[in-house]
Amino acid sequence: MNYDKLMDKIKRIHFIGIGGSGMCPLAEILRSEGFELSGSDMNEGETLDRIKSYGIPVYMGHNAENIDGAELVVYSAAIKENNPERMAAKEQGIPCIERSVMLGIVTRRYKRSIAVSGTHGKTTTTGMLSQILIGSGFDPSAIIGGKLPFIGGNSYVGHSDIIVCEACEYVDTFLQLNPFISIILNIDADHLDYFKNLDNIKKSFNKFSKQTTGLLIINGDDENTLDAVKDIEINKLSFGFSENCDYRAVNVSADKGVHEQFDLYFKGEKLTSIKLIVPGKHNIYNALAAAATAHYLGATPNEISENLHKFGGVHRRFEILGTPCGITVADDFAHHPTELTATLTAAMNMGFKKVWAVFQPHTFSRTAILLDDFAEALKIPDVAVISEILPVREVNTYNIYSTDIGAKVPNSVCLDTFEEITDYVCKNAKEGDLILTMGGGNVYMCANMICKQLKFIEDGQE
């Protein structure tokens, strides 16, 4: 079925799992286009409150009658085939599509769609680019994988022909997209439970690149990216530090190890100087990708510089939660060795007395396959505290445990529960230290527990 043409014939769409972070932005955009929406979810939350505020009917719980009147049903990846609403749609002959398919449909309705791909940095770069474009008056729509304080959420409904979104490679979901501009930040060995090896990942990015209709913006310093796109014939622009890159960071320095500063050059000529307030070399790459894209679209060097300087990060990307007892508590989404290395290296250069990394391994397969790489990354901080592995969608057929990482990391501690971790770090961390929770799961809950307990101590309640 041609779902793009179907959208021109229907009016009513039902979302199963409408409160999900990936579903809510699509619902907001489709509502702005005049579609009648309804939705269902199992849990209350901030995004669901936002949906309800628009007057969209939302049913708590999943029941067959919830889809009554729908001409198309959209479901999130977490919704199984035996879900009663999916089953009812099938029985009634109502078209039913997964969220990534709808993302492809929505983005194709924009003349200038921009997809941000790469193993690492997608959410931050999407946030940076969205902030530049919104702050410069381009009025784009945006779908971001984390909350961007600048817009107060993870989505923005604009009124131009530009949309910015993330393009996730896991299970090849980004192959549902046909962007006008595709950004490839980097390509690394990840999601090996699906891809099996790096060559398959590069082949997938090659397919994604071939579905791009206008321009590829690529990391010119990343060999895997260059290899993946070497046969792609559409226009390309590169970014990086090396002289062969179109957009370059030159005269790089750091203010007290925190604020990255550099001059932005385009084809050998200086455009502007940029000072970031988010730390780390990896964020220079993210800023270069966002700057290159914005410049291509017509943003001025001054607009790029001003808006990048204002960018303070997105939710769960080195997010500072508080400084109780003079101890900085932060949380980060890093869950791959490359991400851990980048973030922890930045943290160690920020002038803290001691850096405590609280890491929650994410999936048995990733932990087993990248065990030695995780161990090397966790040697960077002063102390590594490692929780149990979060299984996510897997069973432990790999016979892998967090203690296997800990055995390879000096000055590490393995504790099973967030309660144990909270007690340990709150007892041992001192004023001037950084406690950084890291992982792709629910370790942010541990960060909140640490903040709360330190605040009790600060207030003299313990």
Active-site choice (28, 47, 122, 338):
122
Q: Which of 47, 107, 119, 123 is catalytic?
A: 123
Q: Catalytic residue among 166, 260, 303, 339, which?
A: 166
Q: How far apart are CA 176 and CA 104, in angstroms?
A: 5
Is 122 annotated in the active site? yes
CA angle 452, 374, 147 (to 5 degrees): 45
Catalytic center residues = 122-123, 166
